[in-house]
Amino acid sequence: MTTRNCLVTGAGRGIGRAIAQRLSESGNRVALTARSAGELAEAATQLPGPALDLPADLADPQAPNRVFDAVERDWGPVEVLVLNAGTATSAPLTATTDEDWERALQINLTAPFRFLRRAVPPMVERGFGRIVVIASMAAKRGDPYVSAYTASKHGVLGLVRSAAAELARTGVTVNAVCPGFVDTPMTERTIDNITAKTGRSAQQARSALEGKQPIGRLISPDEVADVVELCVRNAAINGQGITVDGGAVQS
C-alpha cells in the first residue's frame, strides 16, 4: 500500500483520534490538529507511524494555511484530508442565540470549507486526493432542539456533493460520513445536558440515545473509522453521504 500524507482535524479525542489511529496503522503519515494541545500530543505519541501534532483553532481563518504549511514543510502535500472537528449545542429554536448559530456554522461548515479549499489545488496538481468530512445523520433529517447544528450539517453535506461533482475527473474524491450517536466525549456531554434539563439519570439519558438507533446501542468510533478508510481506499466512492447509525436513517 502506498504511504500517504494524511491530515485529521479534531483528532485529539473520540472519532478523530480513532481515524488517526486507523490511518497510521495502515502505514500512513498522519498529522493531527485540534485546539486541545495536550490531548493532541498524547494522541500523536500513541500512533504507530510518523505523526505531527499541530494545535490550531479552526475558527481562525488562517488556521488552514498554517496547518497545511507545516505538513508540507515536513512531509510534502496533504493527500488525505479528514475533516472531523465539530461542535454541537441543543436549544429550542426560539432560544437559539445568534452566537449559537454563528458558532455552529463557523466550526461545522465554514472551517471545513476553508480546509477543503486549501487542500484541493495540490491534490489536483498531483492527480490524487481523498477528502472525507465527518458530518452527522443530522445532515439528512431534522430533529427538534438542534436547528443550528442541523443546518450546519445539511450545509456541509451540500458542500461535499458540489465539490465532488466539480472534482470528479481530477483524481480527487470528496465524501461525507454521517454517524448517529457515537460513544465519544461529545455524546457524554449530550447525556450530561439531558440529565441537567430533564432530571433523568445518566443511564436513562444514555438509554434514550441508544434507543434512537435500531441496533439499540451507540456507534463505536472504530465503526466510523471503518467507513473513512473505505472512502480513502476506493476511488469509485465519490459525492456520498454514508450513514453509520444502525439503520435510523435509511438512504
Q: What pLDDT is attached to residue 196?
A: 83
Work out the pLDDT band at 188, boundaries 50, 70, 90. Answer: confident
Does the pLDDT at position 201 exceed 80?
yes
Chain-wide mean pLDDT for the chain? 95
Judge residue 32's burial from the number of C-beta atoms within 10 Å of its C-beta, 0-12 exposed, 13-18 middle, 19 or more buried.
Answer: buried
- Report the C-alpha gap between 242 and 251 in whole angstroms: 9
Model confidence at 55, pLDDT cuts 50, 70, 90, reads: very high
Tens digits of residue pLDDT in 100-136: 999 999 999 999 999 999 999 999 999 999 999 999 9
Integer Rg of the chain from CA: 17
Whether 89 shows a pLDDT value over 90: the answer reads no
Residue spans per domain, the chain:
5-180+220-244
Average pLDDT over residues 79-102: 96
Q: Is the pLDDT of residue 178 over 90?
A: yes
Strand order from edge to edge, sheet including 29-33: 51-53, 29-33, 5-9, 80-83, 129-134, 172-179, 241-244
DSSP letter for each residue of the chain: ----EEEEESTTSHHHHHHHHHHHHTT-EEEEE-S-HHHHHHHHHT-SS-EEE----TTSTTHHHHHHHHHHHHT-S--EEEE-------B-GGG--HHHHHHHHIIIIIHHHHHHHHHHHHHHHHT-EEEEEE--GGGTS--TTBHHHHHHHHHHHHHHHHHHHHHTTTTEEEEEEEE-SBSSHHHHHHHHHHHHHH---HHHHHHHHHHTSTTSSPBPHHHHHHHHHHHHH-TT--S-EEEESTTSS--
Q: Is the pLDDT of residue 1 over 80?
A: no
Does the annotation mark 145 as catalytic? no
The structural architecture, per CATH, of the domain 5-180+220-244 is 3-Layer(aba) Sandwich (3.40)
**What residues have CB less than 8 Å from 144, skipping those under 6 apart?**
92
Percent of the chain with pLDDT over 90: 84
Cα torsion 231, 65, 21, 207 to 10°: value is: -80
pLDDT value of position 207: 87
Across 29-41, average pLDDT: 96
- The pTM is what? 0.94
Q: From the candidates 137, 149, 206, 240, which is the catalytic residue?
A: 149
Looking at the chain, the whole-number percentage of residues with pLDDT higher than 70 is 100
123, 17 contact by CB (below 8 A)? no
pLDDT band at 234 (very low <50, low <70, confident <90, very high): very high
Average pLDDT over residues 14-19: 97
